[in-house]
Amino acid sequence: MASVPSLASTVQQRLAEGLSAALPEAGSADPLLRRSDRADFQANGILALAKRLKGNPRELATKVVEAIPANDVLGEIEVSGPGFLNITVTDAAIVRTLAARAADDRLGVPFNESAGTTVIDYAQPNVAKEMHVGHLRSAVIGAAMVEILEFTGEKVVRRHHIGDWGTQFGMLIQYLEEHPHELDHKDAEVTGEEAMSNLDRLYKAARRLFDADEEFKTRARRRVVDLQAGDPQTLATWQRFVDESKIYFFSVFEKLDMDIRDEDIVGESGYNDMLNETCRLLEESGVAVRSEGALCVFFDDIKGPDGNPTPLIVQKSDGGFGYAATDLSAIRDRVQNLKASTLLYVVDARQALHFRMVFETARRAGWLNEDVKAVQLAFGTVLGKDGKPFKTREGETVRLVDLLDEAIDRASAVVREKAQDLTEEEIAERGAQVGIGAVKYADLSTSAARDYKFDLDQMVSLNGDTSVYLQYAYARIQSILRKAGDAKPAAHPELALATSERALGLHLDAFGEVVAETAAEYAPHKLAAYLYQLASQYTTFYSECPVLKADTAEQVENRLFLCELTARTLHRGMALLGIRTPERL
């Protein structure tokens, strides 16, 4: 596993050498390199430097160019405009770098030197409740961040903070105690659908009784107390709800082609034993104060609509604990026991105020500090085609499973229409991979903070910025590689490259930098955008440069080499997003 410096970083290095040779007084000035349309790269750093040194920028630029030692990476350097450098790298340098990438399993992508431990809180549905489209985003974005961070060398601990605790369980448990067979199964093998319909039926019945029957209400309230006190029978009944819900969650995660592990599910209940101590520590340190019986944390800059400060309530006046006490306890656990250096929360933007207050409280308490940061990767709302929050025609929230099934149906139709040599079984398998890929990609390709429209027509379209487009690009490359027969991909740095070959090559070379940026900024959409550009560059290359019918055997090999590296980069990049790339479509 050898990491490969990108051409951009090599050019940067050469320029920096030239700079300090020509202008030792400049210290370590940044040449400010970026990709450019005019040449391969442009460096703008000399302008600022000239200002600082009170020199003529064009003269300085010329001096720098002359001072760059002879090398076989930089082809042409031209001083242009007020003192920019336009830099073209040699064709040979492009092919050589790509060959080094191809020789590495990781495509030469370096590890992050300052990697630490990130605890990532994502995919957190609620027990005994249907998963809806809001739970999709947390799961999809979180799973992508897990892959991306792990690929850069970060140690990642996954935490699924499921909603498995709270007053509503009193009602559910009491009802099940009184109707003990309501969760029984007909068969040994319980499907996710069946589990959910059991829970749904039970929830509705319990709610009906709770609203109609005062005595049941009293018994239900007593159950909450029993649950919090750890009464064994109450806990056993509660466990049945959790287990039944997990059957359902796992079926949805499986449909999402997502690997969720039981040991990573640590729901709200998992922090129950810490709640008292969390409150005690906050109160003793003065971070939280009693106000009308409740334990509260106040903030200067957080006020409600009436202008009065809105506190974070850690413990209610009746002694009950809420969402905040649990999250604060989870922070202590993640920092002190799991040794996290970063806490990442993939949670709806509508919970931003909650997390701001929780993080600030944890900072005041010393649980978060310079060595441990907490970040909410906040995501926007999923909207319907009409631009309003996504609802069914009856105005109900949309069940996630229904959406996924519909996506798979639509995708299967697309696959079937294009299928040439696929069996029915293959169509079904590809349909699922394309459909789920489409849903994930649509979510990941817009920046998380923004709302987006759930539009299946657009998502499974073969043209435009969709996963299907990327999957077809990948499958097309595989088909070329299969047709190549005896011709094998091989890099030939001695060959001159066509314009579209250079463009594709330079883009392939940037993969590592894009992955690093995506990881550092928690921005999967940057990787998605990169992959889309890659597929587009490939399409241009493919239409301009015959591969198997190229002029010489070397050229055939070199183009096959570009094809193969493109395929591997697409495959790796899509895998980082949690999306499959079928070999045939």
| DSSP-based three-state secondary structure for 365 | coil
Cβ 23 to ligand ARG shortest distance, Å: 52
Q: What is the 3-state secondary structure (H, E, C) of 224-283?
A: HHHHHHCCHHHHHHHHHHHHHHHHHHHHHHHHCCCCCCHHHECCHHHHHHHHHHHHHHHH
Q: Which residue, 108 or 163, has its beta carbon nearer to ligand ARG?
A: 163
Cβ 312 to ligand ARG shortest distance, Å: 13
209 Cβ partners below 8 Å, 6+ apart?
175, 216
Q: Which residue, 245 or 558, has its beta carbon nearer to ligand ARG?
A: 245
124: contact with ligand ARG by CB under 6 A: yes
Cβ 121 to ligand ARG shortest distance, Å: 5
Cβ 134 to ligand ARG shortest distance, Å: 7
Strand 294-297 to 74-80 pairing: unpaired
Cβ 420 to ligand ARG shortest distance, Å: 44
Q: Which residue, 98 or 119, has its beta carbon nearer to ligand ARG?
A: 119
Cβ 273 to ligand ARG shortest distance, Å: 17
Q: Comparing C-alpha atoms, which of 547, 447, 433, 556 is closest to residue 491?
A: 556
Using the contact rule CB under 6 A, the part of the chain among 121-129, 239-247, 411-419, 557-565 near ligand ARG is 121-129
Cβ 21 to ligand ARG shortest distance, Å: 53
Q: Which residue, 143 or 330, has its beta carbon nearer to ligand ARG?
A: 330
Cβ 136 to ligand ARG shortest distance, Å: 12
45: contact with ligand ARG by CB under 6 A: no
Q: Which residue, 12 or 126, has its beta carbon nearer to ligand ARG?
A: 126
222 Cβ partners below 8 Å, 6+ apart?
170, 174
370 sits in which H/E element: none
Give, to the nearest 10 degrees, the angle between helix 232-255 and helix 192-212: 130
Q: x/- string (CB under 6 A) for ligand ARG, residues 426-445?
A: --------------------
Let me know: does 501 contact 541? Beta carbons within 8 Å: yes
Q: Which residue, 154 or 327, has its beta carbon nearer to ligand ARG?
A: 327
In whole angstroms, give the CA distance from residue 457 to residue 437: 14
Cβ 186 to ligand ARG shortest distance, Å: 30
85: amino acid identity, one letter? L
269: contact with ligand ARG by CB under 6 A: no
Positions 336 through 355 that interact with ligand ARG (CB under 6 A): 345, 347
Cβ 248 to ligand ARG shortest distance, Å: 14
Residue 309 is classified by DSSP as B
Q: Which residue, 326 or 500, has its beta carbon nearer to ligand ARG?
A: 326
Helical H segments across 491-576, by residue range = 499-509, 511-521, 524-544, 553-576
Q: Which residue, 377 or 562, has its beta carbon nearer to ligand ARG?
A: 377
Q: Which residue, 130 or 327, has its beta carbon nearer to ligand ARG?
A: 327
Q: Is the dihedral of CA 77, 80, 85, 86 positive or negative?
A: negative
Residue 335 is classified by DSSP as I
121: contact with ligand ARG by CB under 6 A: yes
Cβ 182 to ligand ARG shortest distance, Å: 24
Cβ 268 to ligand ARG shortest distance, Å: 8
In whole angstroms, give the CA distance from residue 440 to residue 419: 23
Q: Which residue, 32 or 375, has its beta carbon nearer to ligand ARG?
A: 375
Q: x/- string (CB under 6 A) for ligand ARG, residues 157-196?
A: ----x-x---------------------------------
Let me know: does 312 contact 86? Beta carbons within 8 Å: no
Q: Which residue, 282 or 330, has its beta carbon nearer to ligand ARG?
A: 330
Using the contact rule CB under 6 A, the part of the chain among 99-107, 118-126, 235-243, 461-469 near ligand ARG is 118-126
Q: Which residue, 161 or 507, has its beta carbon nearer to ligand ARG?
A: 161
Positions 346 through 405 that interact with ligand ARG (CB under 6 A): 347
Let me know: does 334 contact 316? Beta carbons within 8 Å: no
Using the contact rule CB under 6 A, the part of the chain among 120-128, 311-319, 448-456, 549-557 near ligand ARG is 120-128
329: contact with ligand ARG by CB under 6 A: no
Cβ 276 to ligand ARG shortest distance, Å: 19
In whole angstroms, give the CA distance from residue 559 to residue 557: 5
Q: Which residue, 511 or 522, has its beta carbon nearer to ligand ARG?
A: 522
Residue of 164, 327, 360, 501 that binds ligand ARG (CB under 6 A): 327
Encoded tokens for 195: 């589990």
Cα–Cα–Cα angle for 189, 191, 193, rounded to 5 degrees? 155
Cβ 174 to ligand ARG shortest distance, Å: 23
In whole angstroms, give the CA distance from residue 137 to residue 377: 11
Q: Which residue, 330 or 585, has its beta carbon nearer to ligand ARG?
A: 330
Using the contact rule CB under 6 A, the part of the chain among 94-102, 119-127, 378-386, 431-439 near ligand ARG is 119-127
58 sits in which H/E element: helix 57-67
199 Cβ partners below 8 Å, 6+ apart?
128, 129, 183, 241, 244, 245, 248
Let me know: does 135 contact 245? Beta carbons within 8 Å: no
Q: What is the 3-state secondary structure (H, E, C) of 7-54?
A: HHHHHHHHHHHHHHHHCHHHCCCCCCEEECCCCCEEECHHHHHHHHHC
Rg (CA), the chain: 29
In whole angstroms, give the CA distance from residue 415 to residue 422: 9
Let me know: does 12 contact 33? Beta carbons within 8 Å: yes
Q: Is 436 left (phi over 0), alpha (psi -120 to 50) or beta?
A: alpha
Residue of 90, 118, 126, 152 that binds ligand ARG (CB under 6 A): 126
Count residues near ligand ARG (CB under 6 A). 9
Write out the residues near ligand ARG by the rule CB under 6 A.
121, 124, 126, 161, 163, 327, 330, 345, 347
